[in-house]
Structure 1
Amino acid sequence: MRLLLALILVLVVVGTAPAKEIEGVRVEPQVTVNAETLKLNGSGTRKKFFVRVYVGSLYSARRLTSGSEAIKDSGDKLIRMDFVYPKVEKEKIVEAFQEGIHNNTPELSDSEEVKKFLSFFTDDFKRGDQVDLYLGGDGTVTAKHNGKVLGTIVSPPLATAVLAIYLGDKPADANLKKGMLGK
């Protein structure tokens, strides 16, 4: 009986992937979104002029190894940003999203869905804040700030554009892209 209990304990401990820590942020090995478990694909630090802004993580239903594969993948994804910089003003946040969309999907830059997406962000982000961008396989884009839903849009082109900010040909941060792809 003791041997059986010891074996079960070993299997539970071995089968539980520990969270990793980056810049003091605990990065979970998996998250549950809409009753679906998404696994950590990879994570890294977003830097702007040598300043650490946030820890970015990509969660997906299956392992993704390239930006083009991730963009073509029809599964659900979650981009999580855990802010480590003291304060990022909402204007800078909106500007960064606009620039990322313009650089990777310029045909959507002035679209109504992009304008609506950008209108979700009305508050500054501070150290300790968590921002989730859920990208559903059906084109659903939901933004959350510290668990509070900021808004939802169903637009496959917008979901692709948001993902391309991080994993497109002209990502906001090439090192963060590598980290999100587990490299």
Structure 2
Amino acid sequence: MLIPALPAAWRRHVAALTLSLSALPLAAADAITVADVRFAPTQQLQGQQLQLNGAGLRRKAAFKVYAAGLYLEQHAGSAAQMLAQPGPKRLRVVMLRDVNAEELGRSFLRGMQDSLDRSTFSKLAPSLLRMGEIFAQGKALKTGDGFTIDWLPGTGMVVTINDQILSEPFTEPGFFEAMMGIWLGPHPADAGLKQALLGGSS
């Protein structure tokens, strides 16, 4: 039995619908699994439901270091779009190998230094030192350990390791932006991970 050809108007409608669907960001109902780490499609933070913006893998040489997922209220395809959102934000990181915590903290400091000019880096020095102290408290982050970096409007930036808040919030203006620059700045630690966090494929 022959199927009659669709009218031209219907063909145009179907083509437009297909194109619009392909251009949509990651659906809120979709979880992402990265190296056996599952990132749920949504998370609750400060009474708001955040959607998984993207998730990917941090590699160093031939090693898989950690998986990371970014949660926002609305999809963001750039760091500027992410920072422009007024609501809470979360970066979730899960370790894929044992890493010395102090060494990881130092790598974060180097990453911020790479993404900041000297003047801004100097202004943020007190918060940078405190961030280093947080990671120096633990001898190592084991495979499967995780930490989150949360931005909470009205409170500041909060760092949690294995569900334990390790310090008072970082309230210094610009520090959360500087911290996120490690992953989403112009000179990210891993360009493939940056692309994945912003909804692309690594």
Superposition TM-score, scaled by structure 2 size: 0.77
> Greater CA radius of gyration, 1 or 2?
2
Tell me, yes or no, if structure 1 residue 112 matches structure 2 residue 112: no
Deviation at 1:119, TM superposition (A): 1.5
Q: Number of matched residues?
A: 168
Secondary structure at the aligned position of 1:175 is classed as helix
Task: Check the 8 A contact 2:159/2:166 in 1, yes or no.
Answer: yes
Aligned counterpart, 2:181: 164
Asked whether the equivalents of residues 54 and 83 of structure 1 are also in contact (C-alpha less than 8 Å), the reply is: yes
Aligned twin of 1:84: 96
Aligned to 2:110: 99
Segments of structure 2 that go 5 or more residues without pairing to the other structure are: 1-26
Q: Partners in 2 of 1:98 and 1:16 — Cα distance?
A: 33
Query: Does residue 41 of the first structure (1) align with residue 58 of the second (2)?
Result: no
Q: 1:132 aligns with which of 136, 148, 155?
A: 148
How far 1:95 sits from its partner (Å)? 1.3
Residues 59 and 23 from structure 1, CA distance in 2 versus in 1: closer, same or farther, beyond 3 angstroms? same
Q: What SS does structure 1 have at the residue aligned with 2:186?
A: coil
Judging changes above 3 Å, is the alpha-carbon distance between structure 1 residues 78 and 162 closer, same or farther for their aligned structure 2 residues?
same
* Runs of at least 5 residues in structure 1 that lack an aligned partner in the other structure: 1-14
Structure 1 residue 18, shift from structure 2 partner: 4.9
- Percent sequence identity is 26
Q: 1:52 aligns with which of 64, 69, 77?
A: 64
1:16 and 1:89 map into 2 onto residues whose CA distance is 34
* Secondary structure, counterpart of 1:120 in structure 2: helix
Query: How many Å apart are 1:16 and its aligned residue?
Result: 8.2
Higher strand share: 1
Q: Summarize deviations over 1:132-180 as a string: whole Å, max 9, x none.
A: 0002344711000110001221123101101111111011110000000
Q: Secondary structure at the match of 1:116?
A: helix
Using the alignment, how far apart are the partners of 2:189 and 2:153 within structure 1? 23
Counterpart CA distance in 2 for 1:65 and 1:16 is 15
Q: Which amino acid aligns with 1:150?
A: L
Q: Does 1:149 align with 2:193?
A: no
Going from structure 1 to structure 2, the CA distance change for 1:108 and 1:50 (only over 3 Å counts) comes to: farther
